[in-house]
Structure 1
């Protein structure tokens, strides 16, 4: 069971996972989001259903951006052989090797610097995952 109704229970390969959106200051860095997620953690998006949950809750909360787990590995900065999800490290302890919930915006991820992942609502109303500094 999840702690309360703000959470959604998800069944992952490694077991049950409770996912919720929390609010913080309007402008918060990725590293601050990680440290302020305690006792929880900044979550990855394991499945398309988890992506859709974030989309629904962000819409309800009028949020246009939500940090999600994923930071470009130092060895992948500027390294074109590092591509997609393999170029990232995750703080989510229940991270699988092949999460399917990172529904990328077109031409993403495209970063070549110390990038973090964010779920964003685009100006045209679509949404997706982007890598940002």
Structure 2
């Protein structure tokens, strides 16, 4: 049975979330771990292991090579007579329900028992392969993009975006928060603009970050704690209060994936309030330490890490980065 028919049958018949595709080939990378299993046992082992993406065995070898996601980017097809085999994991969403509809069959050439110019794509979580291509006997694998630890991936209209809430000790000013986000994560201060995601973020941050820390003396002494987010008051709105300045339109944003006119900034009561005679040009996402609930978005002075009244402390920032 030639290579393409073998793969087409697997794509058409398996209904599990993942499958193992077997070809005659050799990896081009040398980063792997070894395990003393025959090839088919090794295939089963990889299938059950979330971190595994592929296995390789030389002809008549009594062990196999295990490749975790990210360790293998290319496999070169070999002749069946060489006896070298590679099995790699593929998500079923990459395959059509029937072999006749599979995109691989379009580029199949009878003169060559290999697959040419094929591409599979899928959206998946980290530790999976999102893109598989084959051209001229070389298979290429691209892992799904992932976020830094403790960040959550969102799909915005302009693309995928990782968002994380980062507590800091000691408290920080807005410029310090911007610098930490860029230095530590290569990102910018951010804010998820979709209303449904706002609710998710608020609840996630409240449960996972805010509530566990509110019991500490460092936070409980404050009435309000705030996380700096993206947004700087426009110059024209620093000296006046107008209907336009008292909305999101009164601020400039550097978050590259925000929509042109972001609508998801949910303001606190009577906010924003800092235009005109007040120097409140930066934005923070705040929580009440007594109720442990969000007070939504507020504007405040950029260069301070706590309020002049001593009631609010700026305890961190919300950072956004492009998945990698």
* Cα distance, 1:7–1:95 mapped onto 2, change above 3 Å: same
When structure 1 is superposed on structure 2, of 77-86 and 67-76 the one drifting more is 77-86
Q: Which residue of 2 aligns with 1:9?
A: 153
- Normalising by structure 2, what TM-score? 0.38
* Cα distance, 1:55–1:132 mapped onto 2, change above 3 Å: farther
Whole-angstrom distance in 2 between the partners of 1:26 and 1:95 = 29
Q: Which residue of 2 aligns with 1:93?
A: 256
* Cα distance, 1:37–1:66 mapped onto 2, change above 3 Å: same
Give the drift of 1:116: 0.7
Residue 68 (1) aligns with residue 229 (2): yes
Whole-angstrom distance in 1 between the partners of 2:166 and 2:285 = 14
Whole-angstrom distance in 2 between the partners of 1:73 and 1:104 = 17
Whole-angstrom distance in 1 between the partners of 2:228 and 2:257 = 17
Equivalences for residues 6-85 of structure 1 within 5 A: 6-38=150-182, 39-48=186-195, 49-50=197-198, 52-62=200-210, 64-81=225-242, 82-85=245-248
Gaps of 5+ in 1: none
When structure 1 is superposed on structure 2, of 28-37 and 91-100 the one drifting more is 91-100
* SS of equivalent to 1:97: coil
* SS of equivalent to 1:71: strand
When structure 1 is superposed on structure 2, of 46-55 and 112-121 the one drifting more is 46-55
Q: Which residue of 2 aligns with 1:126?
A: 293
Give the drift of 1:19: 0.8
Gaps of 5+ in 2: 1-144, 214-224, 302-324
- What do residues 31-54 of structure 1 show as CA deviations (whole Å, max 9, x unaligned)? 111111011111123112145314
Give the drift of 1:72: 0.7
Superposed CA RMSD: 2.0
- What do residues 70-127 of structure 1 show as CA deviations (whole Å, max 9, x unaligned)? 1111211122232311111112122212323211111111112242100001244432
Whole-angstrom distance in 2 between the partners of 1:124 and 1:56 = 16
- Note if contact 2:281-2:300 (Cα within 8 Å) is conserved in structure 1: yes
- Decide which structure has the larger Cα Rg and report it: 2
Higher RCO structure (Cα 8 Å, ≥6 apart):
1
Aligned residues between the structures: 133
Give the drift of 1:17: 0.9
* SS of equivalent to 2:188: coil
- Normalising by structure 1, what TM-score? 0.85
